[in-house]
Amino acid sequence: MKIEKIDSILKKHEYRHSEIIGIMQDVQGIENYLPEGTLRYISEKLELSLTRIFDIVTFYKAFSLVPRGRHMIKVCCGTACHLGGAMQNLDRIKRTLHVREGETTEDRMFSLETVNCLGTCALAPVIQIGEDYHDAVIPGKIDNILAAYSAGHERQEVATD
Amino acid sequence: MKVPIIVDGLRVEIDQGTPIINAARKAGVFIPTLCYHEALKPYGSCRLCMVEVVHDKQRRLVTSCNFPAEGGMEVFTDTSRVRQIRRMIVELLLARCPEVLMIRTMAKQMGIESSMFKKREANECILCGLCVRFCEEVVGVSAIGLANRGIDREVATPFKVASDVCIGCGACTYICPTGCIEMVPDEKTPRLRRMKMGNLTLVPCTNNYQCESCPREENFLAEMKNVITEFRSTYRRFTEKK
Ligand code: SF4
Ligand code: SF4
Ligand code: FES
């Protein structure tokens, strides 16, 4: 991550120790994860020990120390989704993308995660990809849903170039 | 300001706002602790120091190592409620570290033969945070910290790589109540020793722990020595009493 960018984030938070979570959220918002070098730099600038930062980063599930995919797949495994076949959906995703929970595909397109409840039980079984919710998912639909994201991403790249 | 506090019927005076465990110590009443040390900021993680406090007509269970004293408080360290809680904590610790001698001694003294909780794979660290706080507050380098959460919580160096700030003072090995940070001979230079705790990589002391001829600051060494002597006597007191 560029030094100037980190500096501007730190400035926005007025170099306050109490804002460390906000700072890391901002970094992750840009980078998708928290690069080690960036954290070392932040620790130095804020004069906050690296052990403290490492403690916070590893404490919250929302932070990641490894690069994550462009699209975050969250498979809901709450009671309603579980009964509705969340596990079969999960298996299908794992087989299609060749990843396990907590991992990222080689092309950095998708990261897979399970969550315990997305709070939308009426739509069970639910899968959240990025900001989108997909309801009443069955294994047969999975490949199509995923393909739309892979394809959509490529179109976007062409458009911005 | 000094305020009066009654500990198990004994009246003592301590500074307002300081932990009530100090009152108990002053009154000569023993409270078992695992994560408390006078030289360090209270942390309140082991919960072993629970006592009952009566104040403003309220009666409640608190951790005495970090509960601030107010005038007129009455502290009870040996009620059935306190004993029950302590028993539970020791049983939990016993399930976590069945191999650790100190925990076993504690359990034995309380008449606990075996723990009713399921044993996890043997772990010696009780996450008291003494090593972490000592390294931060006294040594002043913060080479080790706590990481992760829940059952995965552990003592670790940042990014789990060899620490680049550890000075190899060995303080963490001395202060650890369960002895899970060991000093072992370095494989490459057996003359030197290094700290070992699972995957934790710390450095060997460049002076090979010959503290008497250490080029480091005298004040630091004096403080460290005090803390260590004190710490050991606390545990001796615990293992001898009751
Ligand atoms: S040996 Fe290293 S980790 Fe242990 S207290 Fe000293 S500086 Fe900290
Ligand atoms: S290593 Fe020892 S001192 Fe450090 S937290 Fe674990 S039990 Fe406590
Ligand atoms: S000594 Fe008070 S909680 Fe550990």
DSSP-derived pairing of the beta strands B58-63 and B50-55: antiparallel
| Tens-digit pLDDT profile for residues B164-199 | 888 777 788 888 888 788 777 667 766 666 667 765
pLDDT category of residue A157 using cuts at 50, 70 and 90 = very low
Sign of CA dihedral A45, A50, A56, A61: positive
Q: Which of B18, B25, B31, B36 to mutate to test the pocket of ligand 3 (most atoms within 8 A of CB)?
A: B36
Question: Considering every ligand atom, which ligand is closest to the CA of B34?
Answer: 3
Mean pLDDT for the stretch of residues B104-111 = 88
Q: Could you give all domains of chain B from N- to C-terminal order, each with its CATH number? A: 2-78 (3.10.20.740), 130-233 (no CATH)
d(CA A33, CA A27) in angstroms, rounded, equals 8
* Chain A residues with beta carbon closer than 8 angstroms to that of B158: 50-51, 53-54
Mean pLDDT for the stretch of residues A17-43 = 93
| Tens-digit pLDDT profile for residues B11-65 | 999 999 999 999 999 999 999 999 998 889 999 999 999 999 999 999 999 999 9
* Mean model confidence pLDDT for chain A: 89
pLDDT of residue B168: 76
- State both tokens at A51: 């052990």
- Exposed, middle or buried: residue A24 (CB in 10 Å: 0-12, 13-18, 19+)? buried
Q: Could you give all domains of chain A from N- to C-terminal order, each with its CATH number? A: 3-59 (no CATH), 71-157 (3.40.30.10)
| Tens-digit pLDDT profile for residues B140-163 | 889 999 999 988 899 988 988 878
